[in-house]
Amino acid sequence: MSFTNDDKKAIKDILHETIMEDHKLFDDLLKNVKKFRESPEGRLAIVETKVDELKDDIDELRDDMKEFRKELKSDIKENRNLMIWMFGIMMTIYGGLIVFLISRFIK
């Protein structure tokens, strides 16, 4: 199937028209978006979006804090147990030292 020059020109004109219409629609869309952003409703929508993002961030921070508290409590419990053991060992050593010294003075 071969096209004549008139057919080719017609196809080219149709494509050019379609592209120009798309350009115009896109430009109109951009203008409408700019108008919406500058309008009070648009600004409110932007602020609401930011507020929602901040709420999500706050929820994430709360979850992180809960996890941190759990880890901190377990670390404190481990350290408390370690300190109790160390205190017991020190008292045993001091008790043995006192018994040794008393037994030396009694002789």
DSSP string, 14-38: HHHHHHHHHHHHHHHHHHHHHHHHH
Range of the domain at 3: 1-78
43 φ, ψ (degrees, to nearest 5)? -65, -40
Q: Within a domain: residue 63?
A: yes
pLDDT tens per residue across span 44-83? 888 899 999 999 999 999 999 999 999 999 999 889 989 9
Residue 43 · residue 37 · CB < 8 Å? yes
Count of domains forming the chain: 1
Q: Within a domain: residue 62?
A: yes
Structure tokens that stand for 57 in this block: 């961030």
Alpha-carbon distance of 52 to 54, in angstroms, equals 5
Alpha-carbon distance of 42 to 46, in angstroms, equals 6
Q: Within a domain: residue 99?
A: no
Query: What is this structure's pTM?
Result: 0.48
